[in-house]
Structures are given as structure tokens and as C-alpha cells.
Amino acid sequence: MSGSFLVAFDLDRTLIYSAGSAGPDAPADARVVEVYDGAPLSRMTQRSWSLLGDLMRRDVVVPVTTRSVAQYQRVGLPAVPRHAITTNGGTLLVDGVADPEWRDESFALAARSAPLAEMNAVLAAVADEPWVKLVRDVEDLFCYLVAHSREVIPEAWVAELETLAEQGGWKVSVQGRKVYLVPEGLGKGSAVERLVRRLPDGASTVTLASGDSLLDAGMLEVAHHALRPAHGELHDAGWAADHVRVTTTTGILAGEEILAWALEHVTSAVSAPVPS
């Protein structure tokens, strides 16, 4: 990390988009950045790719994702960032390699909530329901459920899940057809703060952030400047904060707008004259 900026980006539905989330204005020449089971899965516009490459050359970008390490590594970025945070804050990759000390700290934070086994059992109880496709836990830190579609997830079940989760010190996030259960001590916002404290110039680092889901809210809150897409979980909830702007575009074009906003912040600060 060089200079005094840290640009924390969520990935899915913020920078990269599936065909279903890209929106009607998605350009036909969008660049494929992730392939799964031999088929294109995630894309970004060609301009987004160029903007992200420019930011990454400045060594300021930190991807911050709920994805596991393996899922994150499927995404082809213009370069390997110096730092990346995966597993909803649970893992720090330094030049692509997991930091063991960070991992130990994450397990200690997660241990403040009810055991993962209890939350796994809650999801396992509905695993055989016709609306459920699969249930998984991620790197022994949190768990999630994938439904066949967002529309078939029972609202009453989600409400009950939220109550159970709160009682155990966990939080729920519904992102499309996925339902995440994450311990309260583990989050993107606290992870960004942990990383900033590790930086040599952390005290003077200006943090920018962008994300679309409730799991991104903490990261947006701790940033000095933030921009969220005009779509997704936060937008549907009407989530706002004084220092958080909202894109004028949606879908894959919002990703382009977010990257242009971040690059403008970084370059304008670098080129600004130094007061005499």
C-alpha cells in the first residue's frame, strides 16, 4: 500500500456482475472476469477493467468480499493486490497468501458469538425443503444457504432466522437467493479498520469504500468517503449516511461509476498543490 489511500471494494454486484444482475444497459462487450464450471459467471465493462487497472497500479485497492479464498481466487483482476480481505473479514491475503495471525484473530472474534455448529444446525433444518438448493459453511467461520430463487425464500422463515441469529450474536444478510449467517464480531468494517492499523501510515490513510449489501454497511460507515450502488440490499432498505453517496446508474454501469469516482478521488489528491 503506497501513499495515503485505501480503496475498499466489495466485488459481487459492486464491481463484478452476473448476467442476471448486470442490468438491461449492460454492454455486449463486457469483459468476463470469472468462469465457473466452464461457463462465464461474472463480468465488468471494458472501461471498468481499465479504471480498476489504473487504480491497482497505484497500489491502493483492497478487495473486501464475503467470498471464500477459493471463490475469490476464481475472479481474474488486472493484478494481484497487495492486500485482499475475504471470508467477510475472516481472512487477509498478503500478495495472495493468507496471513495466519489475522486468521487467529478472526477466530477469536467469531468465538464471541454462539458456535458455528448451532447456526449450521438452523440451516440444516431446512436443507431438505424444496426451495433450498444447498447449505454450506465457509472456512469454519460462517454459513449460508442458497435457494433456487429469491422469490421462494419464505419471509416468515427469514424473520424467524433473524430473531434466532440475534439471540446468538449473529447477523443475517439476504443477497439475491443467498442467505448468509455471520458472527457479529466478524465484518468488513472491522476488517478494514484492522488492516488500516497494520499500515505504516495508517493514521493518515484516507479510506474510500463501496458495497451494495447489508454486510457492506460497516465498511461504508468506517470509510471517510463512500459510494454505494443504486441497487442491492442497502438500496432496497433505504440505507443512508451523511458521507455516503449513491450512484446515478445501476447494474454493471454502477461498477464503472464507482471506479471512476474512486480514481478521481485518488488522482485529484495526488495532483493537488501542497500548501506553502
Average pLDDT for consecutive 10-residue bins of the chain (276 residues)? 81 96 95 97 98 97 97 97 97 98 97 97 98 97 96 97 97 91 95 96 92 95 98 95 98 98 90 44
- Closest C-alpha to 9, from 180, 262, 265, 268: 262
Cα three-residue angle 171-172-178, rounded to 5 degrees: 145
As its CATH architecture, domain 5-100+205-271 has 3-Layer(aba) Sandwich (3.40)
Same fold for the domain at 5-100+205-271 and the one at 113-183? no
Cell digits of residue 157: 422463515
Structural domain boundaries of the chain? Answer: 5-100+205-271, 113-183
| Whole-angstrom Cα Rg for the chain | 18
Identify the pLDDT of residue 269.
75
- Closest C-alpha to 213, from 189, 195, 196: 189
Tell me yes or no: is domain 113-183 CATH 3.90.1070.
yes
Task: Decide: 85 and 191 in contact? Cβ < 8 Å.
Answer: yes
Identify the pLDDT of residue 133.
98
Identify the pLDDT of residue 203.
85
- Closest C-alpha to 260, from 197, 212, 208, 183: 208
**Secondary structure E strands in 13-165:** 31-36, 39-44, 61-63, 83-86, 91-94, 97-98, 132-138, 142-147
Identify the pLDDT of residue 3.
52
Counting Cβ atoms within 10 Å, is residue 157 exposed (0-12), middle (13-18) or buried (19+)?
middle
Identify the pLDDT of residue 276.
37
Q: Which residues contact 266 (CB under 8 A, 6 or more apart)?
A: 3, 5, 7, 55, 58, 60, 208
Q: Which helix (H) or strand (E) holds 166?
A: helix 155-167
Identify the pLDDT of residue 201.
87
Q: What are phi and psi of 65, to 5 degrees?
A: -135, 155
- Closest C-alpha to 139, from 172, 168, 101, 182: 182
- Cα–Cα distance, 204 to 142 (Å, whole number): 33
